[in-house]
Amino acid sequence: MNRKNMPYIFAFLGIALTAGVAFAQPTLVDPIEVFEGSLDDPDTEEIALHWDVTNLTNDTMHLMVTRSIVQLVSPYNLPYDEDNSGAYDRFCWGPLCYPYGTNSSFTTDAYLVHLPPNETDTTFIVDYYPAGVAGVTALDYCFHPVDDIDAGTCQQVLFCLDAANCALNIDETRIESSPVFPQPVTGISSFPYHLNGASMATLRIHNASGQLMEQETLSAQHGIVYLDAAEYAPGMYILTVATPDGAKVSERFIVQ
């Protein structure tokens, strides 16, 4: 990965869609948007949320799940280590409950959920473990075909434990960025960023299993992070830029 400081430019890319073309997306049945509870309640030591995924189209769907971090309490046990403190999470999909902190389900055929028309899958579960940490954690789950998250359906869930306000924090200092482009990453792709007055930020890249692959301090107000496909194994990655005051932005990218 290379980083180059240069005048900050956002490229707005338009995608033309042919009239009459529709995306066949899965339908979520009674998804849960907010869980509110108290750490004093023993039932909140492990919070399990569930909703069904239905195919209301005429074509069979082959779906995986991608989990994205929107907001975390502190401390948060990620990457997960049984000897560390902090809240943590996992999800179940298809035949498997994935390790704590995993960002996406496996992409091989045996681990996808194959959903024929008018059928419903009941295997999705979110497990959240507050571990004595109060506050609001927000996670986003997308159900989609492999390498095509835009063709899927996403749902955000807020876990609120002893929180005065069950809502996302809005920071005055917000990081601005453009998506990683081009995607998938087959050679060199770029990720422009702008810290909007923050003195520094930390860039982290995790693989789909939640393992930290790279970490770097960004001290320039604006610049471009360059991603070289030759430095990564094929698969999905999550790039996160976070400032000390809590502003954060995350982007997914796929390496082929």
What integer pLDDT is reported at residue 69 of this predicted model?
84
Query: Side by side, which strands form the sheet with 125-129?
Result: 47-50, 125-129, 88-93, 96-97
What integer pLDDT is reported at residue 2 of this predicted model?
55
What integer pLDDT is reported at residue 147 of this predicted model?
79
Tell me how far apart the 2 most distant CA atoms of the chain are, in Å. Answer: 55
Contacts with 108 (C-beta within 8 Å, 6 or more apart), sequence order: none
Mean pLDDT in runs of 10 for the chain (256 residues)? 45 33 74 93 95 93 90 90 95 95 92 95 97 93 86 91 80 72 91 81 86 87 87 91 81 90
Rounded to two decimals, the pTM is 0.66
Q: Would you mind telling me the total number of residues written for the chain in this entry? A: 256
What integer pLDDT is reported at residue 170 of this predicted model?
56
What the chain holds in terms of domains, given with CATH numbers, is 27-161 (2.60.40.10), 170-255 (2.60.40.2550)
Residue 94: φ, ψ to 5°: 65, -130
